[in-house]
Structure 1
Amino acid sequence: MHITHLGHACVLVDTGSARLLIDPGVMSDIDGVERVDAVLLTHKHPDHVDPEKVRTLRARSPRAALVVPGDIGEAMPGLPEHQMVEPGEALRFGDTVVEVVGGRHATVHETIPGCVNLGYLIDGGAFFHPGDSFHEPAADVRVLAVAIDGPWLKIAESIDYVRRVSPRVAIPIHEGETLDPAKYIGMMSNAVGGAVVRRLDRGAATRL
């Protein structure tokens, strides 16, 4: 499996059977990305979905499925044709199986309305992207994408999340607003226990 971090929460996962792009938002850079089998959106916030980027990608990969949570259509009417999914569903792209899990976005504040947030579990736990949540899938996760910055979290919560899920490798994402991501990644590396914390250079594919 090759994983490419394309900025903030956007990750390209190449399983060898399918190429899956997750959360191409306004802080990500997908220039040059093509031959995608599916675009998976976790939720409707702009840092996770930019309709213009999705339309551009669809022009380069016209057969790519666009998979979205059920409340995204009314929030972003400019999205191309898409498939709405809910937790409990499973999707197949080639020989790759994507399980839809999760439910709600992590709470920012009790006065701020939440939204649907989906997580995508790929090939039984080979890779898991939780979106903006601390959802713990009922599977052994080998590679976990973990947010390290945002208005809905603090680094202690991210560390505790990695310790609970106990992946072999943790990949820091959602760092587009962080002034010094190396500081947070260093804290996490020293505190998560057995997981290896691997920062991915932006745009460079890493085999995991």
Structure 2
Amino acid sequence: MPWKNPWYDPQQAHHLPNGFCNIEPGRRQPGDLKRWRRMRREQGLPFPPDDGYPGFIARWWQYADICGNEDAVWWLGHATLLLRINGRYLLTDPVFSHRASPLRFWGPQRRTPLALVPDDLPQLDAVLISHNHYDHLDSASIRLLHRRFPYAAFLVPAGLGIWFRRRGIHQVVERDWWQNHELNGITLTAVPARHWSMRTPWDRNRSLWCGWVVEWASRRFWFSGDTGYSDLLLEIPQRLGALDGAAIPIGAYEPRWFMRDHHMGPQEAVALWRAIGRPLAIPIHWGVFELADESLDAPPRELCAALSAVGEQEAAFRPLRIGQYLAIARE
């Protein structure tokens, strides 16, 4: 019997009877995946960073120091962020494993050390998951966190709750786009993204993908998860209110003809950042795993060039070192 989407609502454009979809039409053609893989193999891509991996680590990595008590966010690498909001701690897309893969011996490997080992994490109140891909949803990391923080809530997009419950995790909150959840005075809202989901050949797009807006005391921080550029993203501040901070992806964009449907490059990230009101922004989705053809050090370099090209200063949207933090200042 064909699988049916229990969340299906024909009034929702991103719903299908057998899963979920992007509202925008895809631009990939049949055979593009094989073409990209062949070209990548023939060219030996990706190339190492200009200064090699040790030089990249020396330039772009530090161990995270979780101190102070102000509202703040630490970028722990790729899409993993630790947020401290009103003394509560939230973690996004935690991946502490050596590879973003179902296998220990194959798949994208970590090129930079952990910025924070799980034993050094503060008491977590919630874990926010954006979608079901190995570089964002890591089974070993989720199990570890659940053992250490058994009362932490896991907020996930629609259709992904069953994955957690099968692993004995029942503090799960599933949300469709624009649905929210209240947690200790913090409002967490699932918001649109342009992406996809898949863990096995049999579950493609059976669970949704999303970002999360964290709202407290009339302040808002947007964790975008993983997304290509979409006009839907502009609706987030329009519907929820002005954003005070954001984590915007800038990596895994080459070759653009293949990656553009599901990943933003630095130029698109800058255009989006300007369109949503230039909030304090952290560029994410780079610096750890080599998922596309650009070198590990290309995203921050291209981000700075993209900002300069449109006359913007880097202060509000500058590349951080992995492990670095930003205070989310109060007005």
What TM-score range do you get, normalising by the shorter chain? Answer: 0.7 to 0.9
- Greater strand fraction, Structure 1 or Structure 2: 1
Tell me, yes or no, if the aligned pair for 1:18 and 1:96 is still in contact at 8 Å: no
Which residue identity lines up with residue 80 of structure 1 in the other structure? I
Q: Summarize the Cα distance change of 1:153–1:204 in structure 2 as closer, same or farther, 3 Å threshold.
A: closer
| Corresponding residue of 2:324 | 204
Deviation at 1:156, TM superposition (A): 2.1
Tell me, yes or no, if the aligned pair for 1:37 and 1:64 is still in contact at 8 Å: yes
Tell me, yes or no, if the aligned pair for 1:4 and 1:11 is still in contact at 8 Å: yes
- CA deviation map 1:44-81 (0-9, x unaligned): 11111101101111222111001111233566754733
Tell me, yes or no, if the aligned pair for 2:72 and 2:85 is still in contact at 8 Å: yes
Normalization by structure 2: what TM-score? Answer: 0.55
Deviation at 1:182, TM superposition (A): 3.0
- 1:147 pairs with 2:249: yes
Deviation at 1:205, TM superposition (A): 3.1
Which residue identity lines up with residue 120 of structure 1 in the other structure? W
Which residue identity lines up with residue 156 of structure 1 in the other structure? Q
| Corresponding residue of 2:210 | 118
Once the two structures are overlaid, the 10-residue window that deviates more, 69-78 or 34-43, is 69-78
The residue matched to 2:210 in structure 1 has which SS? strand
Tell me, yes or no, if the aligned pair for 1:51 and 1:78 is still in contact at 8 Å: no
Query: How is 1:47-58 mapped onto 2 (pairs within 5 angstroms)?
Result: 47-58=135-146
| Corresponding residue of 1:110 | none
Tell me, yes or no, if the aligned pair for 2:92 and 2:129 is still in contact at 8 Å: yes
Tell me, yes or no, if the aligned pair for 1:146 and 1:171 is still in contact at 8 Å: yes
Deviation at 1:104, TM superposition (A): 4.3
Q: Summarize the Cα distance change of 1:165–1:179 in structure 2 as closer, same or farther, 3 Å threshold.
A: same
Quote the Cα distance in structure 2 between the aligned partners of 1:68 and 1:182.
29
How much is the aligned-residue C-alpha RMSD, in angstroms? 2.7
Quote the Cα distance in structure 1 between the aligned partners of 2:79 and 2:168.
19
Larger radius of gyration: 2
Tell me, yes or no, if the aligned pair for 2:196 and 2:208 is still in contact at 8 Å: no
Normalization by structure 1: what TM-score? Answer: 0.84
| Corresponding residue of 2:148 | 60
- CA deviation map 1:67-102 (0-9, x unaligned): 111233566754733222112222122121112211
Quote the Cα distance in structure 2 between the aligned partners of 1:66 and 1:196.
30
The residue matched to 2:192 in structure 1 has which SS? strand
Match of 1:105 among 190, 195, 201: 195
- CA deviation map 1:146-182 (0-9, x unaligned): 1111233332221211111123312100013352133
Tell me, yes or no, if the aligned pair for 1:8 and 1:173 is still in contact at 8 Å: yes
| Corresponding residue of 2:296 | 179
Tell me, yes or no, if the aligned pair for 2:176 and 2:208 is still in contact at 8 Å: no
Once the two structures are overlaid, the 10-residue window that deviates more, 10-19 or 131-140, is 131-140
The residue matched to 1:55 in structure 2 has which SS? helix
| Corresponding residue of 2:273 | 162
- 1:87 pairs with 2:207: no
- Which consecutive segments of 4 or more residues in structure 1 shift more than 6 A? none
Quote the Cα distance in structure 2 between the aligned partners of 1:168 and 1:66.
27
What stretches of structure 1 of length at least 5 have no aligned partner?
108-112
Match of 2:222 among 108, 111, 128: 128
Aligned length: 203
Quote the Cα distance in structure 1 between the aligned partners of 2:266 and 2:137.
24
